Amino acid sequence: MNNSIFEKINQLREKLNKLNYKYYVLAESEVSDFEFDSLLNELIKLEKEHPELITPDSPTQRVGSDLTKIFNPIEHKVPMLSLTNTYSEEELRAFDSRVRSGLEGEERIEYVVELKIDGVSASIHYQNGFLIQAATRGDGKVGEEITNNIRTIKSIPLSVKEKRSFEVRGEIFMALADFKKLNEERKANGEKIFANPRNSSAGTLKLQNPKEVAKRPLDIYTYYILSHELRLRSQNESLNYLSKLGFKINPNYELCSNIEDVINYCRKWEINRDSLPYEIDGVVIKVNIFAQQNRLGSIAKSPRWATSFKFKAKQAITKLNKVTWQVGRTGAITPVAELEPIELAGSIISRATLHNADEIERKDIRENDFVKIEKGGDVIPKVVEVDLLQRQPNSVALNIPTICPDCKSQLVRLENEVALYCVNEECPAQIKGKLIHFASRGAMDIEGLGEAIINLFVDKGYLKSFADIYNLSKYEDELKSLEGFGAKSIDNIFASIEKSKSQPFHKVLFALGIRYVGAGVARKLANAFETIYNIKNATSEIIEEVDEIGPSISNSLVQYFSRNENNKLIEQLIEKGLNFVAELPKSNNQNLIGLSFVVTGSLSEITRDEAKEKIIASGGKFMSSLSKKTDYLLAGENAGSKLEKAKELGVKIISEEEFNGMLNK
C-alpha cells in the first residue's frame, strides 16, 4: 500500500470532517462551497482508485447505495420514555413538590431546562466510536431501524474520536426555512405539502431511499447519552460531553437552582419562541443529578424526574372570506371557514373547521369578519372567536343552507343531532366520500384508487357503489384511453382491487362505512359475531352485550340492515368474493370448494342466511342471482321464479336434504 496516498486520504477526511462539523454543528463556514466540493471530489477520486481504503465513516459514505427495503424493528434496551405534560405555573410547582417529597431530605435539587424541539426522536448507537445503528422511538419499546437515513444527516458524526460504545438520543427536526423551501418545491411539483415541520421530518425519515433523504435538510439536537463506559453524573455534564464529542446540542439550555427560575425560563421562551429558526412546542425540565433521577424512578411510561411545560396553542387573527358547506360521506354537512391565508405555527392556514351550524350561530360568525384562529399540535385549526370591534357595519348573519350544496336536495336535521344532513342516497358528494373511505388504507386498501381518481370515475359514471369497483374491468379499454392514465396504471389499480378481496372481514365491515362503526368497533363486532349474517340477525340488545358497544352503535347497525339496498349491496360484495366471515372458514370440511349456489324458498331446518354461511364456510361460492355458471339452486318450500329460471338454464336443483348430504359427505 502506498503510504503517502493513505496519508493524503486521511488528511482529506480529517479536513472535510472538520469543515462539516463547523458548518453543520457550529454553523460557521470557513471555506466556500466550491472549495469544500473540490476537496470532497479529490477524496472521491482517490477512494475510487483505492477502494480498499474506504472506511464506513468517510465523508463520502453518508449515502450508501442500498435502498432501505423495510424498516426492521429494533428493540430499545433502555426504553424511550415519554414525558408528562404541565400547562401552568401551578402544575410546575406541583411537579417540584413531588420531586422534593420523592427526594426527602435532599437539600439541593437543580433542574436542567431545555427547549422542547418539535420533531421526531431517534436513538443512535455507536460502537468503538463508529455509528452502527439508529432507530425511531416507535412505541418506546420497539422502534424501526433508520440507520441509512440517519447517516445522511450531516450534523450527526459517523465516527467520534473517543473509541467508546454508547447510545445517543435526540430530536430530528427541520428548520423552518428549510421546511418552507421543501414545501414550495413540493407544491411546484404537484406533490402534497406537509402540514408542519414535524410531519415533514417524520415523513422524510420514513423514505425508502437514503438518497432522497440526503436531499432533505434534516438536523438534530441531541440531549441524552447512555454508556456503561462513562461516569457521567448529571444531565448538565452529559450535554457538555455530547458537545465535546462533536454532537450538536441546543445552546439555549440552562441550569436552574429552583422552580422559580424554571418558571421564568418557560415564560421567556413562550414569548420568544418565534425568534427561533426552528419550532419548539414547550420546555423540558429535568432533575439534573442522575443519582437523584434514579431515586425518583419512573411510573408507567414517564419518568418522575422530568416533565414538559407545553406552550399554549398559537393563535392568529385573519379575515374570514367565505363559509363553504361540505358534504361528508355520511351526508353530514360541515361548514368550513375559507380564510385569508395567514401563517400560524409554521404553516400557512387558509381553511378552518366551523364544526356545525349551531356553533356558527353561537359564536355569531359572519363572512368578512376578522376571526381568531388557533392551532394545537397537529389538529385542524379552529375558529375561536370573532373580533367584534373589526366587524363591518353592513355585516349580516350567515345563511344556513337548506339544500345540499352538491345535489341540491332538501337538508334535514336529525333528532338529537346538531348536524344538517343530505339524505339523498344518490348525492354524488356522498357517493364519492363513501368510495374514498371504502378504498382507503385502513379499509379495503386499494392502492391507486385515491380521492382524485374516485372523483373522476364517479363523474364519468364508472362508479356508483362499492360493488362497481369490482366490475371496473368491464371498462378496461375506456379507462386505459382516459387522458393521463397509462395502461400500466390501470392494470395496477385492477391488481390492487383484486388483492383487496383478501382483506379480512373486520376491514370489510369497516369499509362499509356504517355510522359509528370505526376500525376498532368493526374489529370487536367481527370477533364477537364472526359473520355478517350474525350481525344482521342480532337485535340491538344482543349487539350491546359486546364490550364497549352502546346503543348508538347498535341502533345504527339495526338501521343499516333494515334497508334493502344495504343487504343487496352486501350480497353483491359476497358474490365478488369479499370476506364476510371472520378468519378462515371454521368448517373442517371444504366439501363445496369450487361450487356455486343460489338459495331460494323457505328452508325447514335452517334459515337462508345460515345456508349462505354454511356454503361460504365449506369453501363454496354464494350467489344472489342465477346464471348459467351457477352449479346448484338450493330450493326450499314455496320457491318461486328462481325455480323456473333454474329449470330454464339447466341449473341443478337440490333440496335441503341433498344440500345437507353434500355438506356432511
- Please state the closest distance from residue 176 (CB atom) to ligand IVH, in A: 16
HEC per residue, 620-639: CEECCCCCCCCCEEEECECC
Contacts of 191 (CB under 8 A, 6+ apart): none
To the nearest whole angstrom, how small is the minimum distance from the Cβ of residue 198 to ligand IVH? 10
Nearest partner of 48 among 33, 35, 57, 61, judged by Cα? 61
- Which residue of 62, 76, 116, 437 would you call a contact of ligand IVH, by CB under 6 A? 116
Q: DSSP string of 161-228?
A: SS---EEEEEEEE--HHHHHHHHHHHHHTTPPPPSSHHHHHHHHHT-S-HHHHHHS--EEEEEEEE-S
Contact call for residues 500 and 445 (beta carbons, < 8 A): yes
DSSP 60: G
Closer to ligand IVH by Cβ: residue 137 or 151: 137
Stretch that binds ligand IVH, among 3-11, 66-74, 75-83, 498-506 (CB under 6 A): 75-83
* C-alpha to C-alpha distance for 470 and 467, rounded to whole angstroms: 5
Contact 272, 183 (CB under 8 A): no
Per CB under 6 A, 117 contacts ligand IVH: yes
Q: Does the protein bind ligand IVH through residue 284 (CB under 6 A)? A: yes
Q: Which is nearer to ligand IVH, 140 or 217 (CB)?
A: 140
In the bound complex, what is the minimum distance in angstroms from residue 318's beta carbon to ligand IVH?
29
Q: Which is nearer to ligand IVH, 114 or 178 (CB)?
A: 114
Give the number of residues written for the chain: 665
CB nearer to ligand IVH: give 81 or 276: 81
> Shortest approach of ligand IVH to residue 107 CB, angstroms?
25
Q: How far is the CB of 307 from ligand IVH (least distance, A)?
A: 9
Minimal CB distance residue for ligand IVH? 121
643 alpha carbon, distance to own chain's centre: 51
Calculate the CA dihedral of residues 147, 152, 157, 159 and round it to 10 degrees: 60
Q: Within 296-315, which residues bind ligand IVH (CB under 6 A)?
A: 303, 306, 308
Member of 171, 178, 571, 613 binding ligand IVH (CB under 6 A):
171
d(CA 618, CA 596): 11
CB of 53 to ligand IVH, least distance (A): 38
Residues with a known catalytic role: 116
CB of 21 to ligand IVH, least distance (A): 21
Give the list of residues 6+ apart from residue 295 with CB closer than 8 angstroms, or none.
Answer: 102, 103
Report d(CA 537, CA 557) in Å as an integer: 10
Which span (114-122, 202-210, 233-241, 271-279) binds ligand IVH, by CB under 6 A? 114-122
The residue (of 306 and 344) whose beta carbon lies closer to ligand IVH is 306
State which of residues 114, 178, 369, 571 lies at the interface with ligand IVH (CB under 6 A): 114
Q: Is 82 in the site for ligand IVH (CB under 6 A)?
A: yes
Within residues 121-140, the interface with ligand IVH by CB under 6 A covers 121, 137
Q: Which is nearer to ligand IVH, 235 or 572 (CB)?
A: 235
Q: For residue 188, what are the CA distances in angstroms to 51, 200, 349?
A: 40, 16, 18
Q: Convert residues 136-165 into a mask of x (bound to ligand IVH by CB under 6 A) and - (unbound).
A: -x----------------------------
Please report whether residue 217 would count as binding ligand IVH according to CB under 6 A: no
* In the complex, minimum distance from the CB of residue 274 to ligand IVH, in angstroms, rounded to a whole number: 18
Nearest to 169 by CA among 238, 225, 233: 225
Using rule CB under 6 A, residue 553 touches ligand IVH: no
CA distances for 483 relative to 188, 453, 478, 495, angstroms? 21, 12, 10, 20
- Location of C-alpha cell 440552562: 254
Number of residues engaging ligand IVH in binding (CB under 6 A): 14
What are the contacts of 334-342 at 24+ separation with CB within 8 A? 334/419, 335/360, 337/365, 337/371, 337/373, 337/383, 339/371, 339/373, 342/316, 342/318, 342/373
The one segment of 78-86, 351-359, 546-554, 565-573 that binds ligand IVH by CB under 6 A:
78-86
- State the residues that interact with ligand IVH by CB under 6 A: 81-83, 114, 116-117, 121, 137, 171, 223, 284, 303, 306, 308
